């Protein structure tokens, strides 16, 4: 049967006038607790993954957690298998989901969250992909549709960590 789902789904990573994850940092600490020491960050939704990982690493360090970025790993699937917690950041939902599929991470993240019960945190696009489908995302207009990236009905299936659809941009 699987473990209880441990999800923290955040609409966005910043609020006007605040810093990165500043509006939800107490919730992050409460959610991850003292047992989690390292968080695996998935920065695939933004183009500049190094800068994004740096920003996330600084925030999580200020909260008392070490952060590893999956894009720096030689084996992303193994990084997910070894993770204590996963945080998927925001950006372009389609870019993110494509990278999750390209790196064969959908099933592995699903297993870790739904069967192993590790904490999953998502912000914006990371929240969108936690659902059953990315059909509710509003960033389709910002994703280049060309022959190298086509999304079929099957390809919009997401992680299915929660059975509901969310609209995180309101």
Q: How far is the C-alpha of 147 from the C-alpha of 78, rounded, in Å?
A: 30
For the segment 47-60, the average pLDDT, to the nearest whole number, is 98
For the segment 103-124, the average pLDDT, to the nearest whole number, is 96
Closest C-alpha among 70, 72, 99 to residue 83: 70
| CATH number, position 120 | 3.40.50.880
Which one is predicted more confidently, 62 or 163? 62
Closest C-alpha among 97, 88, 89 to residue 136: 97
Range of the domain at 32: 7-12+20-156
pLDDT tens for 116-136 read: 999 999 999 999 888 887 765
pLDDT tens for 1-35 read: 566 789 999 999 998 889 999 999 999 999 999 99
For the chain, the domain total comes to 1
pLDDT at 154 > cutoff 50: no
Whether 64 is covered by a domain: the verdict is yes
Whether 162 is covered by a domain: the verdict is no
Residues 6+ apart with CB under 8 A from 59: 19, 20, 21, 25
Whether 123 is covered by a domain: the verdict is yes
Whether 46 is covered by a domain: the verdict is yes
């Amino acid at each position: 049967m699987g473990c209880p789902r441990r999800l923290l789904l955040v609409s966005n990573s910043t609020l006007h006038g605040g810093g990165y994850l500043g509006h939800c940092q107490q919730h992050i600490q409460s959610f991850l607790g003292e047992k989690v020491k390292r968080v695996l960050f998935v920065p695939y939704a933004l183009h500049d993954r190094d800068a994004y990982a740096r920003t996330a690493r600084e925030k999580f360090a200020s909260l008392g957690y070490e952060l590893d970025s999956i894009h720096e790993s030689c084996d992303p699937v193994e990084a997910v298998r070894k993770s204590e917690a996963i945080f998927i950041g925001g950006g372009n939902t389609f870019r993110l989901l494509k990278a999750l599929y390209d790196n064969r991470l959908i099933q592995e993240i699903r297993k870790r969250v739904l069967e192993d019960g590790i904490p999953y945190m998502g912000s914006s696009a990371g929240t969108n992909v936690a659902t059953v489908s990315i059909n509710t995302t509003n960033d389709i207009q910002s994703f280049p549709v060309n022959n190298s990236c086509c999304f079929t009905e099957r390809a919009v299936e997401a992680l299915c960590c929660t059975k509901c659809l969310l609209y995180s941009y309101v």
